Amino acid sequence: MNKFSVVIAGGGSTYTPGIVTMLLDNLDQFPIRKLKLYDNDEERQRVIGEALEIVLRENAPEIEYAFTTDPDEAFTDVDFCFAHIRTGKYKMRELDEKIPLKHGVVGQETCGPGGIAYGMRSIGDMIELIDIMEKYSPDCWMLNYSNPAAIVAEACRVLRPKAKVLNICDMPVGTLRRMSQIIGKQPKDLDVRYFGLNHFGWWTSIKDKEGHEYLPEIRDYVAKHGYLTQVEVDTQHMDQSWQETHKKAKDLLAVDPRFLPNTYLKYYFYPDYVVEHSDIHYTRANEVIDGREKEVFSAAERIVEKGTAKNESFSAGSHATFIVDLARAIAYNTHERMVMIVENNGAIANFDDDAMVEVPCIVGTDGPEPLSQGKIPEFERALMYQQVTVEKLVVKAYVEGSYQKLWQALTLSKTVPSAKVAKALLDDLIEANKEYWPELH
Ligand code: NAD
Ligand code: LMR
């Protein structure tokens, strides 16, 4: 069996220890010869890097390991780059959430104005990362989680169309885990049909390998409880705000009971509810800073202090499982069926070819082959067209440095009530993002 060299970009991320744990648990299925962590924040990289050095020494000393802020060292001789960077870190996520709320608008990491602001920050860093990867390891695949995935994927399509970058999201996998629990199955027992954009989609079928359709059964459950399950199925998406989001899925289902909704539709269908239930002084960014970030970094510091990782563990949720499964699918041509973000090109028959959509794909050595999802109904299609146009306008605004196009993107977002509010918001976001956005004129 070939052994692979992997670099994790955003090596100081709260998700890095979980992904490394998952890699170590699966060395028999995905053997690794080299593992490197790369971050542009030396201090974050040091804490996570030193702790994982101990984890590796104790569990897989045969793997060559390094953590670095040097792109040359990080990207030389790598087969896979797992990327999850956050341009502007949590300081900027907090502003993405709080600035819109000040204007009475949804404040969210990837949806609405917060996602647009984050997109304008992420594009430059992602393109730079792809260029570094191609310079040092031209055959490397990048499996990219960095958000906002929809805008990042559109930017890759426009700016680096030939790059070996696969944009992915853990939400369809996480929700499928919940659905499996509801019907007493394992996610791997089920094949789904799904259509949409990232953080904006619907399941149209959930079948077992014998072809039994579970959608009606799951729908009956979701109509009562949303995706809240009896037994916890994941270590991720568990905080209080997520429990409310899983529950709210029942109101999303009510809007179109034919299909099972992605939880993120809550920000588009019920923005008034979301704003009413938000606390401008304590948003999701604060919840993560006080929760996951503290837990992960304190565990890492304890490991370094004690010099051992015994009695410490990092949780590896569906996020980590998915990226390792995807790497395996490419490495070993497994033809696993996975929901991915890809250029439409007919997968959704009555939607634009050049839209980045989220659909099931068969994944092998050449990457994803999208499965045809047929024609979609007018309600979902119209919503998707509005949203995908927002995403395209953001990328155009970035490329052209266009104030006008970004104002249009904000005006078009279903979360923003008027062009007046959009303009006021845009001016605040420009001020907050001076360090990161290109100049707009
Ligand atoms: P985090 O802030 O804990 O980690 C991100 C790391 O990236 C930080 O250590 C930061 O220093 C580093 N970084 C920023 N810019 C960089 C650059 N140009 N080069 C190298 N490193 C850089 O964030 P997190 O909460 O762990 O999330 C990481 C990313 O993963 C975010 O983009 C988040 O939105 C995304 N995410 C995606 C999904 C998904 O399903 N698509 C799910 C969860 C998180
Ligand atoms: C994150 O952890 O920041 C993202 O997965 C989304 C969220 O808000 O949990």
pLDDT digits (tens, 9 = 90+) for 396-409: 999 999 999 999 99
Here the tokens at position 264 are 């993120």
Nearest to 117 by CA among 311, 318, 397, 334: 397
Helix (H) or strand (E) holding 406: helix 403-412
pLDDT tens, residue by residue, 342-378: 999 999 999 999 999 999 999 999 999 999 999 999 9
Please give the distance, rounded to the nearest whole angstrom, from the Cα atom of residue 30 to the centre of ligand 2. 26
Q: What is the pLDDT of residue 232?
A: 76
Helix (H) or strand (E) holding 428: helix 419-432
Using a 6 Å cutoff on CB, does residue 318 contact ligand 1?
Answer: no
Sorted by sequence, the CB contacts under 8 Å of residue 424 that are 6+ apart come out as 103
Gyration radius from the chain CA atoms: 21
CA distances 199 to 115, 149, 233, 267, 406, Å, are 11, 9, 20, 10, 20
Closest ligand (CA of 294): 1
On the question of pLDDT at 1 being above 80, the answer is no
The answer to whether residues 180 and 189 touch, using CB atoms and an 8 Å cutoff, is yes
Instruction: Give nearest CA residue, ligand 1 atom 4.
Output: 13
pLDDT more than 90, % of the chain: 94
Ligand 1 atom closest to Cα of residue 128:
18
Instruction: Give nearest CA residue, ligand 2 atom 1.
Output: 288
Please give the distance, rounded to the nearest whole angstrom, from the Cα atom of residue 169 to the centre of ligand 2. 11
Closest ligand (CA of 296): 1
pLDDT tens, residue by residue, 97-135: 999 999 999 999 999 999 999 999 999 999 999 999 999
Please give the distance, rounded to the nearest whole angstrom, from the Cα atom of residue 333 to the centre of ligand 2. 30
Instruction: Give nearest CA residue, ligand 1 atom 13.
Output: 85
Using a 6 Å cutoff on CB, does residue 239 contact ligand 1?
Answer: no
Nearest to 92 by CA among 120, 118, 115: 118
Q: What is the pLDDT of residue 355?
A: 98
Name the band, by pLDDT with cuts 50, 70 and 90, for residue 316: confident
Please give the distance, rounded to the nearest whole angstrom, from the Cα atom of residue 171 to the centre of ligand 2. 10
Strand order in the sheet with 32-38: 64-68, 32-38, 4-9, 80-83, 141-144, 165-167, 336-343, 356-364, 367-370
Report d(CA 57, CA 68) in Å as an integer.
Answer: 17
Share in percent of the chain as helix, strand, coil (round to 5): 50, 15, 30
Q: Is 268 a catalytic residue?
A: no
Here the tokens at position 131 are 């260029």
Cis, peptide link before residue 261, omega less than 30° from 0: no
Ligand 2 atom closest to Cα of residue 93:
3
On the question of pLDDT at 235 being above 80, the answer is no
> HEC states along 153-215?
HHHHHHHCCCCCEEECCCHHHHHHHHHHHHHCCCHHHEEEEEEEECCEEEEEEEEECCCCECH
Please give the distance, rounded to the nearest whole angstrom, from the Cα atom of residue 62 to the centre of ligand 2. 33
CA distances 157 to 31, 86, 153, 165, 354, Å, are 31, 20, 6, 10, 9
In the predicted model, what is the mean pLDDT of the chain? 97
pLDDT tens, residue by residue, 290-305: 999 999 999 999 999 9
Name the band, by pLDDT with cuts 50, 70 and 90, for residue 182: very high
Name the band, by pLDDT with cuts 50, 70 and 90, for residue 318: confident
Sorted by sequence, the CB contacts under 8 Å of residue 382 that are 6+ apart come out as none
**Top-confidence residue, 233 or 178:** 178
Using a 6 Å cutoff on CB, does residue 265 contact ligand 1?
Answer: no
Q: What is the pLDDT of residue 238?
A: 84
Is beta strand 141-144 parallel, antiparallel or unpaired with respect to 165-167?
parallel
Mean pLDDT of 180-208: 97
Pocket of ligand 2 (CB under 6 A): 109, 284, 288
Q: Which is catalytic among the residues 38, 65, 221, 264?
A: 264
pLDDT tens, residue by residue, 204-227: 999 999 999 999 999 999 999 999
Per-residue burial over 236-252, b = 16 or more CB atoms within 10 Å of its CB, e = otherwise:
bbbeeebeebbebbbbb
Q: What is the pLDDT of residue 236?
A: 77
Helix (H) or strand (E) holding 7: strand 4-9
ipTM: 0.97
Report d(CA 124, CA 42) in Å as an integer.
Answer: 20
Closest ligand (CA of 236): 2
Mean pLDDT of 44-72: 98
Q: Is 264 a catalytic residue?
A: yes
Q: What is the pLDDT of residue 136?
A: 98
How much is the pTM? 0.97
